[in-house]
Structure 1
Amino acid sequence: MSQSPTNISIFVKAGKDGKSLGACPQSQRVLMLAELKFAAKVLPQFKTIPVNVSRSPEAFRRLGLRLRVPALYLGLGEDPVDVADDIVSLLESRFPGGILQQNEEDPEAELVTRDFFSRFCFYVRDVSKDASHLESELRRIDCYLKNTSNNVFLCGPAPSFLDCEVLPKLHQVRVAAAGIKGYEIPANLTGLWRYLHAAYSEPAFVHTCPSDAEILLHWFDHIGESSANIRKQQHQVLNGKMPHYSFSVPVFAKPVILE
């Protein structure tokens, strides 16, 4: 690890206050991966820089980055990278380890998690009039977690690259579907809730997670919700003393302890 600890910068979407983390699943994906690698001592200390692209900080502008986050700058004359897949590949090639490797992942895990987020987008934008398609995809994931795998995460006992991609999206589905559409993930999807419990017990996920209000603001904005609802959520974000995070799970969805 030749880079000095202060050379590595990760630019992510900023929250409404310009300082907290905004609700960008790809930003959380990249940050979660970096946190896991840092905890495993394969990645040096790095700087997390929240960015409002309309009022971007000098450190972001001088790199000549397009108005897009997340972005990664390794320093030492390296070119910055602002495509999430490329950031993940670069972090792994330069700082290998600290996470379940791609070749260990079960292809079925990728298959069952492929469509739930698009179904959620259709539902929250009223393209789908009810939650049946979304719930069908959530049940696919639940079935896989309960019947195909005894692992805590999708592909093993620790987070994988796939978990870094899926968990930020799944948490946003949980928060936004409930807050905007009144849809709660059924409590009987115990495999899915055990998986979320694992995420909420993982520091790399918790430290990189946006607040509920930021998630709702993000989706209100995306679906063209009324300005009254947006103002209400914005007031909650900017004036709330303590941001709220939905990290609870149904009590019977505790992880199974394997002997």
Structure 2
Amino acid sequence: MDKNMTQEPEIELFVKASSDANSVGNCPFSQRLFMILWLKGVNFTLSTVDMKRAPDVLRELAPGSQPPFLRYNKEVKTDINKIEEFLEETLAPPQCEKLCCRYKESNNAGEDIFRTFSAYIKNRNLGMDNILEKRFLTTLAALDLYLKTPLPCEPSDTESSRLYLDGNKLTLADCNLLPKLHIVKVLCRKHLNIVIPPPELEGLTRYLTNAYKEDVFRYTCPKDSEILYAYSSVAKCRIVDQEGKMKQFN
């Protein structure tokens, strides 16, 4: 925490509301910041913003912006990456835990998964579907390999058994990747007939199994119904039949 501060800061995180405005909506960036504040162990207020009603809070606090955004004392911050940097610098040891990775490679692990997944699920060219699926599955395999490869702090002659990307504690990298993997998991099961994680990817299976044991991840995830609602327009273009073959709506 800031050395010049003599009292606990007032922190309010504004996130996208659910479709019924009663809970947290589907937004991996909102969940990312939610997890960071939870892991920092500070008191904060979580406020949902109903985007359907052109809320006054946006006009007053962050005109022209979309959730998530942060109010720290009286200062409003809207850039997600800068918010993360600010929280890591300001909510620092000894009062708060450091969350940055020890190894820079951990920050980039799995970075292509959501991009390749989005291209695959949004594809309407049936001839490209197998290619896009393979690209997506290749990114999962690359993450699996990274999770199995020992970090410099681990014995180099055995497969890594660490819990998370950068070791046995959740870091900023996990807060970025895990919300996206959860979205991918829900949509793959519903619309692509793909189980995430594939059972043969033991490193990825271990990673997600451990993550879902963590309250900080499990309780910050949006409901599956919110994810499906957010992608409902995409789903109208695809359907998976009983044999797992994709058909296309015209």
TM (norm. structure 1) is 0.76
**Whole-angstrom distance in 2 between the partners of 1:181 and 1:167:** 20
* Corresponding residue SS for 1:50: strand
> Contact (CA 8 Å) 1:100, 1:161: kept in 2 or not?
no
> Identity rate of aligned residues, in percent?
32
Residue by residue over 1:100-147, the C-alpha shift from the partner in whole angstroms, topping out at 9 and shown as x without a partner, is: 54351x233334312111000001101651321111110111111123
* CA drift at 1:57: 4.5
- Give the 3-state SS of the residue equivalent to 2:77 in structure 1: coil
Residue 88 of structure 1 pairs with residue 58 of structure 2: no
Counterparts of 1:135 and 1:224, CA distance in 2: 20
Q: Tell me the equivalent position of 2:72.
A: 74
Counterpart of 1:142?
144
Give the aligned partner of residue 166 of structure 1: 177
Q: Deviations over 1:53-108 (max 9, x none)?
A: 23254444422433401100012x32x1112111111111221144554351x233
Alignment partner, residue 157 of structure 2 = none
The question of whether the paired residues in 1 share the 8 Å contact of 2:101 and 2:171 is answered with no
Choose 59-68 or 89-98, whichever is displaced more.
59-68
- So what's the TM-score if we normalise by structure 2? 0.79
* Partner residue, 1:213: 225
Assess if the C-alpha contact under 8 Å between 1:99 and 1:161 holds in 2. no
Contact 2:109 2:146 in 1 (8 A): yes
Matches within 5 A, 1:165-184: 165-184=176-195
**Aligned equivalents of 2:206, 2:89: Cα separation in 1:** 31
Alpha carbons of structure 1 residues 107 and 5: separation in structure 2 relative to 1, 3 Å: closer
The letter of the residue matching 1:32 is M
Match of residue 199, structure 1, among 211, 214, 233:
211
Question: Is the helix fraction higher in 1 or 2?
Answer: 1
* Paired position in structure 1 for 2:245: none
Note the 1:17-56 alignment, pairs <5 A. 17-38=20-41, 43=42, 45-56=43-54
Q: How large is the RMSD of aligned CA atoms in angstroms?
A: 2.2
State the one-letter code of the partner of 2:63: L
Deviation at 1:48, TM superposition (A): 0.4
Which of the two has greater strand per residue? Answer: 2
Q: What is the deviation of 1:212?
A: 0.9
Structure 2 counterpart of 1:118: 115
Q: CA deviation at 1:178?
A: 1.5
Q: What corresponds to 2:156 in structure 1?
A: none
For the pair 1:108 / 2:105, whether they are aligned, the reply is yes
